[in-house]
A and B are shown apart, each in its own frame.
Chain A
């Protein structure tokens, strides 16, 4: 690596927006080509400009998909991956212009428009990916307050131990609530749960609510013992909220890839069908 980079540089501003400029140039050239050519009866994908834009778009799609292979070849010395990602993002966006002009704004219920629609979905999911990579890391750092997930989990485990010990001094009903909180409190779970941070039957929250009720008409000695349990449960609740928030941010940064990658393969299949249909079954 020549010219050592010593500070963080986002893939969006990489090399002073080099790939944004290239992408804009590609889009402008496409628009000019589109405007210059006026075939009979209207502009469409089969004119010479249409073929040029279509070939450019198809090769761009193949090259963009190659990124999935490139980013996993760690040993090859093919330049910085930040540069590749920067180019992937900006040239991927320019594809929207190139392919739209290639269609000549002729849409219909056919394989050609299916390929175009899939391409738009892939680009949209990628756009969300860029958004999430810009937004969530910062929120994640703010939410963690300097402790990582393993540390959070070990603190939760140690609070669980303390809760079990504290529950020995309280009445049976409270002890049962604490036991249930320790045993059944959920963290993570299905993808929807991770994304929504919605835990309606959180056993820790239920235990806190139950304890308030019992505490109201408890004897003074019992109330003292229960106060300790309560403090521990409140700490546990705060820690759980923080851990669940962290899981949500992580899930937001993962979810788009579950659409982006399969859709891009669907696009590849549709693109192949589109090219074959155009050349052999015209």
Chain B
């Protein structure tokens, strides 16, 4: 799990109105989760300590391993079952 990064504001709106995180502020997933209170699954626990996207998808040479969003999952299953 990683926190959903908040929308980064323009420099001026941060300078003038203090919107969003600015330079020097804690951008770690934990701090963002504290600020926004939401988490969002990006990859499973097996490779959570490895940088980058899901390591299984990156390590699959034939492209058989793919990552899909839940709303796309049903379509993928339907195609596979055909």
Contacts and interface: CB of A to CB of B under 8 A. Distances in A.
Nearest to B55: A74
Interface string A61-88: 0000000000100110101111011000
Interface of A is mostly: loop
Nearest to B50: A75
B52 A77 contact: yes
A80 B59 CA distance: 7
A7 B76 contact: yes
Nearest to B82: A141
Interface residues of B, number: 22
Interface of B: 50-55, 57-64, 66-69, 72, 76, 80-81
A9 B68 contact: no
Contact of A5 (B50, B55, B66): B66
25 contacts: A1-B53, A1-B54, A1-B58, A5-B57, A5-B67, A6-B67, A6-B69, A7-B66, A7-B68, A7-B76, A10-B62, A10-B63, A11-B61, A14-B63, A74-B55, A75-B50, A77-B51, A77-B52, A82-B61, A82-B63, A84-B61, A85-B61, A137-B64, A141-B80, A146-B81
A7 B80 CA distance: 12
**Candidate in A5, A84, A141 with the most chain B CB atoms within 10 angstroms:** A5
Interface in A112-152: 133, 137, 141, 146
